[in-house]
Amino acid sequence: MSFLTIENLSAFVGPAPILRDVSLTVTAGEVRGLVGESGAGKSMIGKAVLGTLPPAVRVASGRIVLEGEDLLAMRPRDRRRVIGARAALIPQDPLTALNPSRRVGPQITNRLVDILGWTRHDAQVRALELLDEVHIPEPERVMRAYPHELSGGMRQRILIASAFAAEPRLIIADEPTTALDVTVQKQILRLIREMQARHGTALLFVTHDLGVVSKICQSLTVLYGGKVLEDTRVGDFFAGPTHPYSAALLAATPKYTDPDASLTPVPEAVIDGVRAEIEAFDRMHGHV
């Protein structure tokens, strides 16, 4: 049973396509990686699901179905209610995602109170529980702290707690560890996996790092220019990617255990091949 199904989603900025006929599913308890270089459209897919696309982006066609509810067919008000109750985001930069002039506590509890109608007391209890679950020592003290008083890893833990607060069925993690040190990254990945397994949440994990994908995802979608190039199981991918671009991306990923084999830039011929594929697609759909 899939929690999230995206079917033939196409989106444009002006006349330029930024998502081209994207389809993917995330099933119950699954972690799916969304991989690509900058400009591949991976963050846009997350934003489309959460209804936070920039105003310039126009969704032209396709369906986004979250637990049987067709999001794009709903009135904006209903859509916000469904998304607010069932989906959540772990953002990339924990510093900009938290309001610097407000204490941490209310930033976790307000969403529960304002959007989900919890009592302030229940929200408070839940927040303390969650901070404990994400291994934050002295949760009461942290609730009263301002974001700048906490380290980057600590702030990301708070955002993870906040994302899981209302027991969402789907979480979109948008490069949640890119801004962190490798040692902190490992702790945070471990935490995300632990929380995801405990709560049975489906996770769409946006990242450019194939190393991270190999550690945390069960399936992955490789994107280029807003088009899906490969949709596969992680085991199959690392055994041998089927699309030449995926293979080239894997070869370009540094690997300290094998310094000579790594760091081959994606060859021009491969990029040309992908561009040709995309042009052919655009011609077929009359986007040229």
Partner 1 sequence: MSDTPIYDIENLRLSFPDMAHKPLLGPAPRVEILKGISLRIPRGDVVGIVGGSGSGKSTLGRAMVRLIEPDSGAIRFEGQDITHLGEDALRPLRRRFQMIFQDPMSSLNPRRTVGAIIAGPLKLQGFDRVSGRVDQALDHVGLPRVFRKRYPHELSGGQRQRVGIARAIATEPDFILADEIVSGLDVSSQAQVLNLLEQLVRELGLTLAFISHDLSVIRRLCRHTVVLHRGEVVEYSETQALFDAPQAAYTRELLDAIPLPDLDQVWV
**Residues found near partner 1 in the complex (CB under 8 A):** 37-38, 152, 181-186, 189-190, 193, 208-216, 234-235, 238-239, 248-250, 252-257, 259, 262-266
Residue 52 or 242 having the CB closest to partner 1: 242
Q: What are phi and psi of 123, to 5 degrees?
A: -65, -40
Residue 32 or 79 having the CB closest to partner 1: 32
The C-alpha atoms of residue 78 and residue 274 are separated, in whole angstroms, by 39
Residue 81 or 193 having the CB closest to partner 1: 193
51, 58 Cβ separation under 8 angstroms? no
Residue 152 or 273 having the CB closest to partner 1: 152
Q: How far is the CB of 36 from partner 1 (least distance, A)?
A: 9
Residue 139 or 147 having the CB closest to partner 1: 147
Q: How far is the CB of 147 from partner 1 (least distance, A)?
A: 13
Distance from chain centroid for Cα 280: 29
Token pair listed for 219: 């399936």
Q: How far is the CB of 139 from partner 1 (least distance, A)?
A: 23
Q: How far is the CB of 1 from partner 1 (least distance, A)?
A: 24
Closest to 31 (Cα-Cα) out of 250, 272, 158, 194: 194
Any residues with CB less than 8 A from the CB of 217 and at least 6 apart, and which?
31, 32, 33, 205, 234
Q: How far is the CB of 186 from partner 1 (least distance, A)?
A: 4
Closest to 33 (Cα-Cα) out of 158, 199, 155, 202: 202
Count how many Cα atoms sit within 13 Å of the Cα of residue 200 in the half-sphere of its side chain: 3
